[in-house]
Structure 1
Amino acid sequence: MGRLTTHVLDTAAGIPARGMRIELHALDTASPRPLASFITNADGRCPAPLLEDDAFRVGRYTLTFHVAEYFRDRDMTLPQPEFLDEVVIRFGIADSAQHYHVPLLVSPWSYSTYRGS
């Protein structure tokens, strides 16, 4: 059975993004349906898969990473409004037997993602 995982790297400091809030939503209804909220651990990862077993289904989803909140919590001075407040990644799961890993590399000024393994 497949699963969904993520991790976040703070590229401004060169460290895992410990304590970042992440929200997962399903896009199978007229408005996004909240599924779960997570806080990253010391390795910048969630302690368990975001979706797995019967909850891991083919469909469209979003991950919302609260990046401005994360950087403010680290006493970084950010402009108002922040250049990046929330990073929202919309993605699809086409095969529920595979592992989908959606990492985020982020600074207050840029971000990158890819389908990892």
Structure 2
Amino acid sequence: MSISTHVLDAALGRPAADVGVRLDALPGGELLAQARTDADGRVRDLAADLPVGTYRITFDTGGYFAATGRQGFYPEVAVTFAVIDAGEHHHVPLLLSPFAYSTYRGS
């Protein structure tokens, strides 16, 4: 099982580069991985070989908006999701704008 993510800045119509990303195991919030999105807004290999369970990816959206000279409403976005099949890849995208966000299970 592996986890990846990408962030798209919907307001600008392009990938969100250099967004801080944190992966925690739940319950308890044990830090499993930290990364920053690349120039294409992606973290291709955030984690691998994790067991079935509940996880949370937290995106540092406040830092991203500050670095791009914009004010955002959400200082961070936390997405909690369940890994049901440890044999599958899990992709967790984030569509972001200063005052809204959306996420879904990607492929």
Structure-1-length-normalised TM-score: 0.87
CA contact (8 A) 1:105 1:111 kept: yes
List, as ranges, runs of 4+ consecutive aligned residues in structure 1 with deviation greater than 3 Å: none
Which among 49, 57, 63 is matched to residue 63 of structure 1?
Answer: 57
What percentage of residue pairs aligned between the two structures are identical?
44
Q: Partners in 1 of 2:55 and 2:88 — Cα distance?
A: 16
Contact 2:33-2:47 within 8 A present in 1 as well: no
* Greater gyration radius: 1
Structure 1: gaps spanning 5 or more residues: none
Task: Structure 2 unaligned segments of length 5 or more: list them.
Answer: none
Kindly indicate whether residue 9 of structure 2 is the aligned counterpart of residue 13 of structure 1.
Answer: no
Aligned with 2:86 (options 70, 90, 96): 96
Q: Say if 1:4 and 1:101, in contact at 8 Å, map to a contact too.
A: yes
Of 33, 38, 42 in structure 2, the residue corresponding to residue 36 of structure 1 is 33
